[in-house]
Amino acid sequence: MPFHTSGQSPALAQRLRIELEEQFGPEYKAWLDYLGEAREKLQPQKLDPQERKRLLHELASKKGFDAFRREHKRATSSD
């Protein structure tokens, strides 16, 4: 069953957000920015909605994060 508070407990949602921020490092902020940009670029394209969803889920996967981190490290080390 998917987890969400659905507005039933904003206090729990806030506590979980804080715990996640402590658990995940700053590289997740850069990845989230990247995912947002990818989503913005994919939205106006004439893609099948299921294909768009598949691509976004692929980018948001562990494998996608590992690829992002490698590219991000390469790009920042060449500065």
Please tell me the predicted confidence (pLDDT) of residue 3: 63
- Residue 20's pLDDT band (cuts 50, 70, 90): confident
Q: What is the mean pLDDT of residues 49-60?
A: 95
The DSSP-derived string for 21-62 is HHHS-THHHHHHHHHHHHHHHHTTS---HHHHHHHHHHHTSH
pTM to 2 decimals?
Answer: 0.68
- pLDDT bracket for residue 79 (50, 70, 90): low
Selection from 73, 2, 61, 74 nearest residue 35 by Cα: 61
